[in-house]
């Protein structure tokens, strides 16, 4: 069974904003140009007591810890291109460079909207809360973006098991309905 992957929603998770490359669509599922400027820059808010860094952020770009990226590769994910990223805390001057922006090469139209829980925001712009996928349209990929809602990153059950086994307890996996 595939899953949609999210950052775990816990109170103490850090708040992150992308501050560079805002004029580029980084969730189109296509290769980026060879001259893509790096690093991709983010600002973080850790001002509330107890906030911590997550291993994964989806906003719509995908930012992951380097260790998570290595786990994806070891699990057989071969359709992600890593790019240097930097996270800065403007208030304290702290900086993290142990994250990478991952460009997922794979935008797949496989949602069955009639059986999904979704809202249409405009022509070809959907927000899907509960994803249903037709079994015959499910690609043989461990990770891809859903064309019908590009903020949704779908992972295979194999990858979900590998991430759990590797100790990534701050990732939430929402089961996809197969129809």
Residue pLDDT, tens place only, 92-110: 888 999 999 999 998 999 9
Residue with tokens 């059950």: 157
Closest CA to 104 of 71, 124, 131, 82: 82
On average, the pLDDT of the chain sits at 89
Other CB atoms within 10 Å distance of the CB of residue 120: 10
pLDDT of residue 9: 58
Local structure of residue 102 (DSSP, 8 states): E
pLDDT of residue 100: 97
pTM of the model: 0.89
Q: What residues of the chain score a pLDDT lower than 50?
A: none
Cα 55 from Cα 163, distance rounded (Å): 11
Q: How far is CA 9 from CA 73, 121, 154, in A?
A: 25, 24, 17
Cα 17 from Cα 25, distance rounded (Å): 15
Task: Give 66's contacts (C-beta < 8 A, 6+ positions apart).
Answer: 98, 99, 100
pLDDT of residue 123: 77
pLDDT of residue 91: 84
């Amino acid at each position: 069974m595939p899953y949609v992957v999210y950052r775990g929603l816990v109170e103490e998770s850090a708040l992150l904003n992308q501050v560079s490359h805002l004029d580029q669509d980084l969730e189109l599922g296509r290769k980026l140009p060879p001259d893509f400027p790096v690093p991709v820059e983010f600002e973080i808010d850790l001002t509330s007591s107890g906030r911590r860094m997550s291993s994964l952020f989806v906003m719509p770009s995908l930012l992951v810890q380097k260790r998570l990226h290595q786990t994806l590769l070891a699990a057989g994910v071969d359709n992600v291109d890593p790019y240097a990223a930097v996270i800065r805390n403007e208030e304290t001057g702290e900086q993290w460079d142990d994250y990478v922006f991952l460009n997922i090469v794979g935008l797949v139209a496989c949602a069955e909207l009639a059986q999904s829980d979704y809202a249409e925001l405009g022509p070809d712009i959907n927000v899907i809360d509960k994803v249903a996928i037709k079994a015959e349209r499910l690609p043989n990929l461990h990770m891809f973006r859903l064309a019908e809602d590009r903020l949704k990153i779908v992972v295979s059950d194999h990858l979900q098991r590998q991430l759990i086994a590797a100790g990534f307890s701050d990732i939430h996996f929402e089961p996809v309905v197969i129809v």
